[in-house]
A and B are shown apart, each in its own frame.
Chain A
Amino acid sequence: MTRSFVWPLALLLACGDSDEFEPPPGGSLSVTQAGAQDIEEFRRMLRGGEIPPVESFDQLGFFAEHAIDQPEADCGFTVCVHPQLAVAPRFDDGNWTMAFASFNTAVTAESRERDAVHLAVVVDISVYTDRVREELVDGIEGLVGALEPEDRVTLIVYGDGAEVVRDGAAPTEVVPGELPALQAVEEGSALYDGLALAVDRLVQDEAALAGGRILLVGAARAVTGITDRERIVALGAAAAQEGIGMSIVGVGNDYEPDIARALAEQGTATLASAHGDEIPGVIAAQAELSLVPLATDMELRIRPAPGYAAGAVHGVRDAAGGGAGVVLRIPGLFLGARTGGDDVDEMVGRRGGGGGVFVRLWPQADAAERIGPGAPAFTAEVSYTDHDSGERVEYEVGVDNGLAPGENPDEFWPHFSDEAHAKPFMMLNMWLAVDYALRLHRDGHCEQAMGVAEMMEQSVEVWQDAYDDADIEADAELLFLLRAVIAEGCTAMPVPPTFVDAGCFGT
């Protein structure tokens, strides 16, 4: 089974001259969505022996920690889409047909020519960041050092109130280690004031609106001044409306992810969290990764071929549609940090992997006889605005199913349309396993929650024997850590769960 057809539908010129648009050469660097970039906070809670709430297991963050080995990004556009298909028996019987699409780019931070950015850095100087202040200041130092000379920096601190420390300064004029304001420790945490000052400064600087972005660094707690989550999230939404992007790096043991997560759901915001020694690297990396999106206003339409209907969607926060097709809206795509599964940076870890989006396909009842094997399964239609050229890009790629709709493979091993790049389906299975385990535990079925991990153990073993992937290894560690924490409060023996809608990989 291979991709069946690939063609650009159209290249719509929203602005600029088409002659100036030079498609990037081949290569493959991951591309990440706006939203959470990791699940570090979830992992930290588990390591502390605490079972995190189900809703804190962020799908976007989990997928973003996975680098997908993808074909070369030689589609001729800044962002290339790579759709795939997997068909497997379900763990609890039945058929599991899953469409997937990932993105990559041939553009690198070094090769990219971007417009100047006015970056408003909003720094938490409350007691909640006292213990990580040194790392935090180092991170800002690294961030400012990685900016271009033509960029501008506004530095704002918030604690009992908020204050502008540097206003529209050149990067070289900002030396964080020498600023007394960054050494202060205040009892309060006026998050709204800090963000509102940043938004106000960027809106007032009309020249910056084309490239205005806020970087919020801190524990993201709102305990002073305007603390209504509604007001803070509305401020984030208003900033997005004004074209101001936001990057959030939650730091320290007192980091409170709830508001940060809600802010990260606005526009092209991104969210990462960091602890201890990794803080400077994660903050500094934002200069290359999250400052300017590669693409905005992306729409990915997964259109099922005859014989299939679209079902559940995973990996994207805004999806609409029904059986005839699903439209996934992605407000911003950013340059990722990884070239593949083995590329794990010492400073930023597994963040910036890229992940992707999944749509469950439901074969229709009589489709197997009517359609047979080797027919199209779905089409991925992409449209987005190339941020650097301003052009609207549209194209589509289709994928065939080598099996008849609803037909299971002969063996307990999935049927992939592109087996060399099939890791995302295992990634989805790992996410489903952790999510099921959390839900079963929450609902009082600790024995079944542990049973999910038991069930996945052999599957992971078979997969790792074949691929030995660092990300799947980390997922397995997470799942088995969850099992261990659940086991501490559960005397029952693990039993298989009664319902798991996941594909059966090698068991």
Chain B
Amino acid sequence: MTPGLRGVGLLSLLTVLGCDLNYRPAPYVHNLTRERIHVQVRFVDGTPTCDLLPQQIGFFTEEDFGPSVRYRLDPGGVLPITDPTLEPDVPEPRLCAAAIVRVGETSRVLHWDHEGLHEIPQEPTRNGAASQQALQVGGGGGRYFFRTGFKLGTASLRGQDNAPPCDAPVAAPIAWSGLPNGTHELAAVREGADGCLVLEHGSGTGFVCVPPRMFPFVAGQRIEVAGAEGFGPDAGVDSGANVLRIRDERQALELRRGSGFPAAGVGSGEPVAATCAPVRDTCGSLVLPARAPIGGLLVEAGSEVRAVVVDALARVYLGRVEQVALVRTGCERAGSRGFRVDLAIVQASEAQAAAPDDDAGVNEPRGHEVMDMDDAGRDLQDDGGVGGTEGKQ
């Protein structure tokens, strides 16, 4: 691998000049014609989940690709299709990439895995490993044909319009703000217009976006708030952007969002994504609804189950459960293998758990069980954690 042509992807017009260096792993266009050709490249505008890319790229649309970068390529020349995320200043280079490559009026949608590619010589022969990643250009007379090596996947963009719709449930993310670590007295708890809870406390107003039935605290109570580090004398800073813990002397609520499942003692394996066409979230990312394995059951987004979590019975609500096929630039990143799972876990607090005779607000163990829900995902047997409110999540 050589840094010789780093930065090539940022130049709007480039004649590939001869030099003695090989190119770093990349697919390449090899001009086999006797004419100078123009090559236009549009890289995908976001981060694809590599496992899903071959199956999902057909659902991408033109809007999922960035602006065109145009190159001039002399007869016999080689143009590496250099992924901009392999630039030295990009902290997390992608392991796979996709681009629309156009020569003349003919274009191909390509995808590849960097792991599977070899260095390519400046003057590649037609044989050998490097030819497997070649996009060779032949023909002429104003029209060109491409021959694609087998390390390069090709696809056509068909978007979601002609695909069967995904009817699996999609839930809004669990979220919170305005709750600094420490102890607060709840002056008021009410459901906001968007279904999130509005919490007035001594330090201001906080917001928690979970179904009201999953928030076991009411006005007048003193609650303790902590982030990822947990409760204790050192838990003064809220570093837990993805974890929030709230407890009083009887009950504890733990909220988790984003990557990482199994998490917090919940779950027994990797989620399973639906096989339908992905749906687009409000940020423009493509997501597949998924189900999370909890206690031998595959549980959908918006569902609530009773499960034993770290030796104690808990009510567990699943917010988002989805696999992200493409995170568009500027959207929230997904975790490993593209899964995002949000959890709300209600249990007896540690102090309460030590006193088993007292009613902890969590019913006796019934093993793992999915609770009955109505169409909106509300629990038909639960009267809600906040008196009289109805979930709008």
Chain A residues within 8 Å of B, Cβ to Cβ: 51, 53-55, 161-163, 190, 192-193, 196-197, 199-200, 203, 224-231, 233-235, 237-239, 241-242, 244, 258, 262, 441-444, 446, 489-492
Contacts and interface: CB of A to CB of B under 8 A. Distances in A.
Contacts of A237: 194
Interface string B1-37: 0000000000011000000000000000000000000
6 contacts: A200-B192, A228-B175, A229-B283, A231-B196, A239-B193, A443-B102
Contacts of A233: 282
B368 interface: no
Contact-residue bracket for chain B: 35 or more
A312 to B, nearest CB: 16
Contacts of B272: none
Q: Does more than half of chain B's interface fall in helix, strand or loop, or is it mixed?
A: loop
A489 B194 contact: no
B68 A193 contact: no
B332 A228 contact: yes
Contact of A55 (B42, B63, B175, B283): B63
Interface stretch (B121-129, B203-211, B225-233): B203-211
A446 B176 CA distance: 46
B302 interface: no
A444 B40 contact: yes
The 10 closest A-B pairs by CB, nearest first: A225-B177, A444-B40, A444-B68, A238-B194, A238-B193, A489-B12, A226-B175, A230-B282, A235-B194, A226-B177
A241 B392 CA distance: 13
Contacts of B102: 443-444
B330 A258 contact: yes
Given A441-B68, A489-B12, A230 B177 contact: no
B70 A162 contact: no
B3 to A, nearest CB: 25
Contacts of B192: 196, 199-200, 203, 235, 238
Nearest to A234: B194
B172 A190 contact: no
A103 B217 CA distance: 52
Contacts of B207: 192-193, 196, 225-226
Contacts of B392: 238
Given A196-B194, A235-B194, A238-B193, A489 B177 contact: no
Contacts of A442: 42, 62, 67-68
Nearest to A161: B178
A19 B392 CA distance: 42
A417 to B, nearest CB: 35
Contacts of A231: 172-173, 175, 194, 196, 209
B169 interface: no
A231 B392 CA distance: 12
Contacts of B198: 196, 200
A229 B284 CA distance: 10
A444 B332 contact: no
Nearest to B204: A161
B290 to A, nearest CB: 17
A162 B205 contact: yes
Contacts of A228: 172-173, 175, 332
A492 to B, nearest CB: 8
Contacts of A224: 177
A163 B332 contact: no
A37 to B, nearest CB: 22
A190 B102 CA distance: 43
Q: Could you say which of B194, B207, B283 has the most chain A C-beta atoms within 10 Å of its C-beta?
A: B194
Contacts of B194: 196, 199, 231, 234-235, 237-239
Contacts of B330: 258
A228 to B, nearest CB: 5
Contacts of B72: 491
B359 interface: no
A468 to B, nearest CB: 35
Interface string B316-336: 000000000000001110000
A241 B40 CA distance: 46
B70 A446 contact: yes
A200 B194 CA distance: 10
Contacts of A242: 193
A192 B62 CA distance: 31
B384 interface: no
A226 B195 CA distance: 14
Given A200-B198, A444-B68, A489-B12, 13 more contacts: A192-B175, A196-B196, A200-B205, A226-B177, A226-B207, A227-B332, A230-B172, A235-B193, A238-B193, A239-B194, A262-B282, A444-B42, A492-B38
Given A227-B332, A235-B193, A443 B177 contact: no
A497 to B, nearest CB: 13
A491 B14 CA distance: 11
Contacts of A244: 193
B281 interface: yes
Nearest to B194: A238
Interface string B144-169: 00000000000000000000000000
Given A161-B204, A444-B102, A225 B178 contact: yes
